[in-house]
């Protein structure tokens, strides 16, 4: 059984590397299993402990995650490291529960329109599926953490603006359904820091002593500013991907998640210890460059390095 | 005589395009005078009103600014537009005063070490020069606004960390010397948003009803987050350059100023009207691309465009 307080201690900031799942969603070439393992091990050596490693979706559609079980094992073998796998249906849930992964992630759309278009189901039906997932978790051997993301929570690719009251209502229902944590996702990078700060504050209040994860995309250059606002509003779990790997099918040319190494610098600059050695983290980009030479990598830390006089290593 | 309240009304946010000066400091090829004029006129049509256009430094060393007088005229001919020119010595000051430029900018280093290394003078001597500049302004025909920047105010390329108490002391002395406004410059992009917010709040308090300009570089990816913190702390005048044009000799590969179009989106997202049409602004990048094909341009708005449902034009 995975204990929430061990994986997400509430007295510090946790940064999660989601490049191995979200970052690989749209890339043109896939890293080999061995390269993924090097990526994980080298980030682990740099201090990273939370890795979204893949999804239990049909390998025919998502061949980049065909090795998800092996990657879960890779992370599981590292002391104090936690793997996260995405599931969207009951078959996937059962496979995820059987895999021994520390955390199972799933998704509910913030808007009815996106829920219907993307998953062909209502939001209420999606929340009912999350409840079923929590029941299966309770009956499982490993009892992983269940993390439900609210996608399009800060703007929807179909309807545009999203009512924060709706997002908070869904957040509340997800906790009632039995999830351990909720992720607030700016899936298409619509938001600015004011909006992110306000929604984060509301979600953190609802969550009480459970974690709220903030999952941001840097589509319009607001990623780090939004992360800063989320931290100010009380979020302590944030997602990023090394080099901002990834993209969005709804915004051609858009970058992926917030740049992980810049996110670490942001946190350290605000006095939040991440446990991450930023220079070591930046060095891991070489794996991505050699495995996926066609992908653009972003980020200021990689260009400029730590400022003079900055301690290279976090406490 | 240029009246401060006309150029910098205190009830709104003003974004200044500094790409024509700071952005051209290190570029490999220079735009033609005609291209600079198109750049200004097209940004003016997009709603931009404040342009740093060049410097009165020796044309032998800075040939990119040899046409500074002509560019000052170009801006001056546009109703409600204001040009800014940099000067560092008395010869340049006299030329700037004679040019009819709306604003004369000058610089004092935040640290003694950088002042000596960069300008071969003490900070006190630099402040005395600013006082002399203000006296010359008082005796001049056009009486332009005098803006003194504190460079390295958030981190120094020579000594690293900078004491904010020192920066605020210099800010106070500059206002005592007679300047109309002070710019706080993160010249080498060392800072995070916490540091920027705290220093901005202190400087805004000292400035009273005079403007504080926040001049940020996106060297380490913190530019927009820092701008957001500066706005939160009360700054209402911010610099940026189209596409983040520019660089820093102390940080190879580092980007230049904050991306102007992303800065405009940030402000609008926070409820600050900029008067700038972001889509028109993004379109001006084509001039930079054709004139300076070797320069990297950055920014999220150019990649992804405005979010669905966002009004394209500002009020």
Q: What is the pLDDT of residues B185-229, one digit of tens each?
A: 999 999 999 999 999 999 999 999 999 999 999 999 999 999 999
- B309 close to A (CB below 8 A): yes
Instruction: Select the residue of B189, B192, B308 nearest A304 (Cβ to Cβ).
Output: B189
CB contacts of B270 in chain A (<8 Å) are: 192-194
Whether the predicted pLDDT of A259 surpasses 60: yes
Question: Within the 201-220 window of chain B, which residues sit less than 8 Å (CB to CB) from chain A?
Answer: 218-220
The answer to whether A13 touches A231, Cβ cutoff 8 Å, is yes
Q: What are phi and psi of A314, to 5 degrees?
A: -80, 160
Q: Please name the CATH architecture into which domain A4-304 falls.
A: Alpha-Beta Barrel (3.20)
Please name every residue paired with A214 in a beta bridge, in sequence order, or none if there are none.
A184, A238
**Every domain of chain A and the residues it spans:** 4-304
- Within 8 A by CB and 6+ apart from B169, the residues are none
- Tell me the percentage of chain B whose pLDDT exceeds 90: 90
Asked if A189's CB is within 8 angstroms of B304's CB, the reply is: yes
Asked if A192's CB is within 8 angstroms of B269's CB, the reply is: yes
- A251 close to B (CB below 8 A): yes
The answer to whether A66 touches A31, Cβ cutoff 8 Å, is no
- A265 close to B (CB below 8 A): yes
**The two structure tokens encoding residue A128:** 């009912």
Annotation says B248 is catalytic: yes
User: For residue range B146-175, what is the model confidence (pLDDT) as tens digits?
Assistant: 999 999 999 999 999 999 999 999 999 999
**CA triple B132-B169-A305, angle to 5 deg:** 105
ipTM of the complex model: 0.94
- A190 close to B (CB below 8 A): yes
- A294 close to B (CB below 8 A): no
CB contacts of A243 in chain B (<8 Å) are: none
Q: What pLDDT score does A250 carry?
A: 60
Asked if A310's CB is within 8 angstroms of B160's CB, the reply is: yes
- pLDDT band (50, 70, 90) for residue B311: low
- Within 8 A by CB and 6+ apart from A205, the residues are none
Q: b/e string for B291-313 if b means 16 or more Cβ within 10 A?
A: bbeebebbbbbbbbbbbbebeee
**CA triple B221-B225-B231, angle to 5 deg:** 145
Q: Does residue A188 sit in helix, strand or coil?
A: coil
Q: What pLDDT score does B265 carry?
A: 98
Asked if B157's CB is within 8 angstroms of A304's CB, the reply is: no
- pLDDT band (50, 70, 90) for residue A309: confident
- pLDDT band (50, 70, 90) for residue A315: very low
CB contacts of B262 in chain A (<8 Å) are: 220-222
- Tell me the percentage of chain A whose pLDDT exceeds 90: 90
**CA triple A219-B266-B8, angle to 5 deg:** 155
- pLDDT band (50, 70, 90) for residue A161: very high
Mean pLDDT of chain B: 94
Give A261-302 as a DSSP string: HHHHHHHHHTT------HHHHHHTHHHHHHH-TTS----HHH
CATH number of B4-299: 3.20.20.70
User: For residue range A56-79, what is the model confidence (pLDDT) as tens digits?
Assistant: 999 899 999 999 999 999 999 999
Q: What is the mean pLDDT of residues B249-266?
A: 85
Pairing between strand A50-55 and B145-151?
unpaired
Q: What pLDDT score does A308 carry?
A: 84
Q: What is the mean pLDDT of residues A268-282?
A: 98
Distance CA B120, CA B116 (A): 4
- Tell me the percentage of chain B whose pLDDT exceeds 70: 95
Q: Which residue of A has its CA nearest to B299?
A: A221
Q: What is the mean pLDDT of residues A250-273?
A: 89
- pLDDT band (50, 70, 90) for residue A255: confident
Q: What is the mean pLDDT of residues A200-210?
A: 97
The answer to whether A158 touches A111, Cβ cutoff 8 Å, is yes
User: For residue range A105-153, what is the model confidence (pLDDT) as tens digits?
Assistant: 999 999 999 999 999 999 999 999 999 999 999 999 999 999 999 999 9
- pLDDT band (50, 70, 90) for residue A313: very low
């Amino acid at each position: 059984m995975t204990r929430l307080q061990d994986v997400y201690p509430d007295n510090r900031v946790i940064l999660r590397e989601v490049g191995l799942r979200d970052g690989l969603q749209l890339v043109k070439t896939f890293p080999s299993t061995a390269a993924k393992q090097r990526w994980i091990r080298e980030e682990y050596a740099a201090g990273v402990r939370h890795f979204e490693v893949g999804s239990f979706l049909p390998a025919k559609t998502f061949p980049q995650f065909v090795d998800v079980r092996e990657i879960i094992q890779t992370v599981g073998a590292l002391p104090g490291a936690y793997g996260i796998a995405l599931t969207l249906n009951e078959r996937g849930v059962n496979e995820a529960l059987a895999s021994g992964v520390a955390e199972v992630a799933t998704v509910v759309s913030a808007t009815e329109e996106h829920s219907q278009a993307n998953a062909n189901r209502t939001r209420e039906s999606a929340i009912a599926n999350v409840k079923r997932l929590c029941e299966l978790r309770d009956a499982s051997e490993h009892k992983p953490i269940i993390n439900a993301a609210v996608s399009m929570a800060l703007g929807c690719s179909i309807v545009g603006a999203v009512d924060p009251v709706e997002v908070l209502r869904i957040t509340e229902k997800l906790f009632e359904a039995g999830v351990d944590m909720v992720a607030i996702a700016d899936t298409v990078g619509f938001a600015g820091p004011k909006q992110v700060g306000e929604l984060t504050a509301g979600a953190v209040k609802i969550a009480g002593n459970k974690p709220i994860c903030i999952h941001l995309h840097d589509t319009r250059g607001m990623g780090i500013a939004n992360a800063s606002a989320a931290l100010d509003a009380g979020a302590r779990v944030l997602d990023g991907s090394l080099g901002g790997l990834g993209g969005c099918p709804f915004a051609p040319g858009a970058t992926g998640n917030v740049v992980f190494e810049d996110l670490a610098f942001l946190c350290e600059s605000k006095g939040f210890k991440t446990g991450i050695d930023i220079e070591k983290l930046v060095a891991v980009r070489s794996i991505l460059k050699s495995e996926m030479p066609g992908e653009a990598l972003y980020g200021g830390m990689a260009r400029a390095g730590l400022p003079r006089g900055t301690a290279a290593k976090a406490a």
